[in-house]
Amino acid sequence: MNEPDVDDAPEPVTEPASDSAASVDAPFGFDSLNLRPELLSALVRLGYEEPTAIQRETIPLLLQGGDLVGQAATGTGKTAAFALPILNRMPPKEGKPVTYALVLVPTRELAVQVSEAMYKYGRDLGAKVLPIYGGQPIGRQLHALHDGVHVVVATPGRALDHIARGTLQLDSVEVVVLDEADEMLDMGFADEIEGILDATPTARQTVLFSATLPPRINSIAKKYLRDPQRIQVGQGGQNSLANTPRIRQSAYIVQRAHKPAALGRILDVETPTAAIVFCRTRDEVDQLTETMNGRGYRAEALHGGMSQEQRDRVMGRVRSGTAELLMATDVAARGLDIDTLTHVVNYDVPSAPEAYVHRIGRVGRAGREGVAITLAEPREQRQLANIERLTKRKISIEKVPTVADLRAKQIEFTLNQVREALAAEDLEDYEVVLDTLLEDFDATEIALAAIKLVHAASGASDDEREIPDASHRLERDKPKPSRDNAQNRKGSDRGDRGERSFDRGDRPERGERSGPPAGTARLRLGVGRKDGIRPQDLVWTIANETNLVGKQIGPIWISEHFSTVGVPEHTVDEVIGALQNAKVKGKRANVRRYVDDPR
């Protein structure tokens, strides 16, 4: 069975457990959860100090054997929340291992990460954990399944493939976990999930984790789970991002045409150690990767259109620090855990607030500070407000750094570089160079030349372009359009802005109106009276998408099937570019320059 083209990663090596477990005190908090000593020792070894909220609430319930629906975002510790109870019930080391637990995940990357985590937790128990996913040689999986494993972590398509082959035996399965259930449904795995659940014993324990709980998730829970407990963490309330002050959230309001330049400028000033930039489409990922590499960044692309080998190579570069920027789509980045990650950037505002929470949860973990940046177009202001309501955190609206801001940051970086060099212990090695130069130049001139070289070597750009600030266009910060510039005006002004009726199809009758004022060009938008369009709708859309104000827009004529709008001649290209992806009352504008009938 074919699977969607999603993430991939190398298979971890399953090693035998050591014969002796370290005898150490259990970490504060975990010792009260009734976990086996071997698991407590592993947690100490891994540096776990106390359980997270999802772990405190979930582990005791799962140890009792009941079903559970958990709503939790990335970064809340849910892998350990289900992995530790599963390993706690591991049977004694006798004979060939039998598969007693099955974990279903949406992507290859997440399959590997979950299996690696479970192996580390269960190492002292001798746990054998196997990830199975598409794109990996099936022979290796067949061999491991034949030898026996305790826990299988699988993507749905490959799991169903093994079930059909008879190579994945589920008769002894006691626990099934659906991790990132909403993502699996979004990727089209609904039928596979139901087929797998139907093939498992009805007496099993079933655990479902999801960042969101759409109706389809509740439908599966109602059909396959028995009186499940419900736990909600990281989706608002006490455990929301409101209690995650280590994530600095900010947004920049930028016209779409300026977003690539704005991203570069912001990253130049932020100087992230490693960052993920989330994009909506594969094409956007590829284009932005090329743009950022041209700016001097070491950027890599990650999306579903890449082969397994390409994805492995990309993730290797990111984790080794060879690449500092990862441009990715949501699905391709699902389950990624990068230790060095300092910044998450939303190149577009996520359509669902829960997706925003899920994305930025990748930073600010384990007590580290993180930065979440969003590039929003003026029309996306409502989505920002929705996110603020969900997270109960204000998103600071910042101005795009100016050229002066960039230069100040570059100078600061150069100063630090020079200070570090002055603290070095081998400066005397270069005295001969200094003495030679002093024969012909002043010491100040030599120092300035050396600083110039350091500054240039640091990659300081010569960016001289100011990026237009659109933050003043936020709806929540500006008054609603006045009647003077957003509605039909009274008196003589109504003739310029008012709605006109045309009786001859889509073309206004010749001679019925005069041409636009001098210096004004007309645009044709493919929406009209049949779409319920009014003059104020057009004024609002154009003002919201461009730097124009209401009094610069007009005259306006609306026919049955299209409308024409006057704008200053010198802004035509900018307005057309800004409206390419805009919608007026839910309808795509399809804008172009209007050409009068030559008859």
* Lowest model confidence (mean pLDDT) among 138-152, 439-453, 467-481: 467-481
- H or E element: which one contains 584? strand 583-584
Of 266 and 383, more confident: 266
Among 116-130, 227-241, 267-281, 325-339, the minimum mean pLDDT is found in: 227-241
Q: Residue 512 above 80 pLDDT?
A: no
Running DSSP on this structure, what letter comes out for residue 5?
A: -
Helices 308-320 and 108-121, interaxial angle, to 10°? 50
Enter the tokens of residue 182: 């909403």
Percent of the chain with pLDDT over 90: 26
Give the model's pLDDT for residue 459: 57
Question: What pTM did the predictor assign?
Answer: 0.48
Could you give the dihedral angle defined by the CA atoms of residues 218, 72, 359 and 180, in that order, rounded to the nearest 10 degrees?
-50
Kindly give the pairing relationship between strand 151-154 and strand 556-558: unpaired
Burial class (CB in 10 A: 0-12, 13-18, 19+), 434: middle
Which one of 190-199, 345-354, 472-481 scores highest in mean pLDDT?
190-199
pLDDT of residue 16: 33
**CATH class held by domain 30-233:** alpha beta
Higher pLDDT, 151 or 135: 151
Tokens of residue 323, six digits: 């690449």
CA distance 333 to 326: 9
Instruction: Tell me if 30-233 shares its fold with 479-593.
Output: no
For the segment 484-498, the average pLDDT, to the nearest whole number, is: 38
- Summarize the confidence of residues 282-299 as an average pLDDT: 86
State residue 478's pLDDT score: 42
Q: What would the pLDDT profile of 10-57 be if each residue is shown by its tens digit?
A: 333 333 333 333 333 333 478 888 899 999 999 888 877 778 788 888
Residue 186 vs residue 271, higher pLDDT: 271
- H or E stretch at 28: none
Domain boundaries, the chain: 30-233, 242-403, 479-593
pLDDT for the residue numbered 109: 79
The pLDDT, as a whole number, for residue 515 is: 52
**Given this model, what pLDDT does residue 334 score?**
65
Longest dimension (CA), the chain: 96
Q: Within 13 Å, how many C-alpha atoms sit on residue 277's CB side?
A: 29
Q: According to the model, what pLDDT value does residue 461 have?
A: 56
Helices 403-422, 443-457: crossing angle, 10 deg rounding: 110
Q: What is the 3-state secondary structure (H, E, C) of 293-362?
A: HHCCCCEEEECCCCCHHHHHHHHHHHHHCCCCEEEEEHHHHCCCCCCCCCEEEECCCCCCHHHHHHHHCC
The pairs formed by 508-513 with CB atoms below 8 angstroms and a separation of 24 or more are 508/557, 508/559, 510/597, 510/599, 513/555, 513/557
Q: Which fold has domain 479-593?
A: Alpha-Beta Plaits (3.30.70)
Which of helix, strand or coil describes residue 452?
Answer: helix
Provide mean pLDDT across the span 491-520: 42
Q: What is the pLDDT of residue 462?
A: 57
pLDDT greater at residue 263 or residue 137: 263
Provide the angle, in degrees to the nearest 10, between the axes of the packed helices 431-438 and 443-457: 130
Q: Calculate mean pLDDT across residues 99-127.
A: 91
pLDDT tens digit string along 534-559? 887 788 788 777 877 677 788 888 88
Residue 52 pLDDT: 79
Tell whether the model's pLDDT for residue 533 goes beyond 80. yes
- Residue 596, SS3 per DSSP: coil
Lowest-confidence region among 106-110, 181-185, 348-352, 433-437: 348-352
Report yes or no: 251 and 398 within 8 Å, Cβ to Cβ.
yes
Q: Say if residues 471 and 252 touch (Cβ distance below 8 Å).
A: yes
* Other C-beta atoms lying within 10 Å of the C-beta of residue 351: 11
Tell which CATH architecture fits domain 242-403: 3-Layer(aba) Sandwich (3.40)
pLDDT of residue 197: 94
| d(C-alpha 281, C-alpha 193), whole Å | 26
Q: List, in order, residues 6 or more apart from 30 with CB less than 8 Å away.
A: 40, 43, 48, 50, 51
pLDDT of 86: 96
Q: How high is the pLDDT of residue 481?
A: 45
Residue-level pLDDT at 458: 60
* Higher local confidence (pLDDT), 111 or 186: 111
The pLDDT value given to residue 3: 40
Give the C-alpha separation, 267 to 202, whole Å.
Answer: 52
What average pLDDT does the chain have?
Answer: 78
Q: So what's the pLDDT on residue 596? A: 59
Please tell me the predicted confidence (pLDDT) of residue 21: 33
Residue bearing tokens 């949501």: 330
Q: Which of 45-54, 79-88, 206-215, 518-527 has the highest mean pLDDT?
A: 79-88
Please determine, for residue 212, whether its predicted confidence score (pLDDT) is greater than 50: yes
pLDDT tops 80 at residue 500: no
Which residue do the tokens 């004024």 mark? 539
Core vs surface per residue 120-150: b (16+ CB within 10 A) or e: bbbbbbbbbbbbbbbbbeeeebeebbeeebb
Q: If you ran DSSP here, which 8-state letter would residue 106 be given? A: S
